[in-house]
Chains A and B, each alone.
Chain A
Amino acid sequence: MSAAWLPAFVIGVAFGWALERGGMGDACKLAGQFQLRDLAVFKIMFSAVLTAMLGGFWLARVGWIDLNAVALPPTAPLAQLAGGALFGVGFVVAGLCPGTSCVAAVSGRFDGLAAVLGMGAGVLLFAEAWNGLEGLYGTDRYVTIPEALGLPYGLVVGLVTGAALVAFAAAERIEARRGRVVQP
């Protein structure tokens, strides 16, 4: 294995490990998020976003990394609104998402494998339907929320952090009221 592959592979191993530890390879647990009984998906996603956002912000602040050198995912509002909606329905129906379906599959779950194969078919379907979807697809814009709104980066980081903490408290209240945490 070329040395260039190693970081990607090691990061992937840690990624798969973290997802499996949190129960994200378990479709029952993911379904619990949408039945508002087990909010682990929300808690894991947003504590991960918060950790990486705050970590990136402070590492850039002390000059250890340049956040502008990190590849920023593009923005295309209409396509992401439509694609997100379709994705969300698929997420609920499958009880898994692309990354977690792979973890489910290697945990021995055949529903994970079925979702993986379905996703491959979805990619091909998208390619076949490209002529009809091209208009909706639009063009990429590379911008951050602070840039788009003309706000200081640190202020937006603070606002997202505050909103996430409020949402965590709400998630705990929902679980306390009607929770049924899924375990293997």
Chain B
Amino acid sequence: MTPGASGPRPYADPYVAGVGLGLVLLASFVFAGRGLGASGAFGRVAAETVAAVAPEHAAARPPLAGYLADGAAQNGSPDAPSGAAPPGAPLSPSGWLVVEMLGVLVGGFASAVLAGRFRPGVTRGEGVGVSSRLSMAAAGGVAMGVGALLARGCTSGLALTGGALLAPGAWIFIASAFGAGYVAAPLVRGAWR
């Protein structure tokens, strides 16, 4: 699709967007004492959802119980006195991520609308139908959910944050994820024609 006068505006230069993203990450280091993240918010929301429906079930599963314990610690100090504590301190690690991801939803939406890029629909190549594309997105999501929890983070919390902080695990994750991605890419090439 080519951008017309009233159509969607083209995307930013990747290096400009990347430096902007890097400054956001740096601001997070400076003002929150931590990096960005995404999968941890999924973990916390999923754990809270299970706990609301079946508390015993959630408590019996260590990965979910871990997120719930994180939240319980936060609830112990709902409004820590301001002043001494650094800005992000009263939020638990996963609570911080949930709030941050709510911000991502707002920021992403605002950016898309203001650039004329908010368009309801399904992004797909010509080689795949709508229902197949949605199934692929969901199946890929399942694999990423398991993979991110096993790896202790995703592209945001592990690759970007850990990459910039020179954590070995982040670089192992980057190499493994992109390596596997390129091995698997020919299998889905037809979908993106």
Q: Which residues of A approach B to under 8 Å, CB–CB?
A: 2-29, 31-32, 34-35, 39-40, 43-53, 55-56, 59, 64-65, 67, 69-77, 79-112, 114-130, 133-134, 136-137, 140-141, 143-146, 148, 153, 156-157, 160, 168, 182-184
Contact = CB atoms under 8 A, between A and B. Distances in A.
4 smallest CB-CB distances across A and B, nearest first, come from A122-B145, A12-B103, A118-B141, A51-B22
Contacts of B161: 73
Interface of B: 1-3, 7-12, 14-15, 17-36, 38-39, 42-43, 45-47, 49-50, 61-64, 78-80, 82, 85, 87-91, 93, 96-97, 99-112, 115, 117-125, 133-182, 184-185, 188-189, 191-192
Contacts of B108: 16-17, 19-20, 25, 102-103, 106-107
B91 A5 contact: yes
A105 B115 CA distance: 16
Given A83-B173, A130-B63, A53 B107 contact: no
Given A17-B111, A20-B111, A21-B17, A118 B164 contact: no
B62 to A, nearest CB: 6
Given A121-B145, A184-B10, A107 B109 contact: yes
A contacts with B: majority SS: helix
Contacts of A80: 150-152, 158, 169, 172-173, 176
With a 10 A CB-CB cut-off, give which of A24, A99, A114 has the most chain B CB atoms.
Answer: A99
A44 B14 contact: yes
Given A71-B93, A88-B179, A107-B109, A98 B33 contact: no
With a 10 A CB-CB cut-off, give which of B15, B47, B174 has the most chain A CB atoms.
Answer: B15
Given A44-B21, A96-B137, A119 B145 contact: yes
Contact of B22 (A20, A48, A77): A48
Contact of A98 (B1, B24, B39, B133): B39
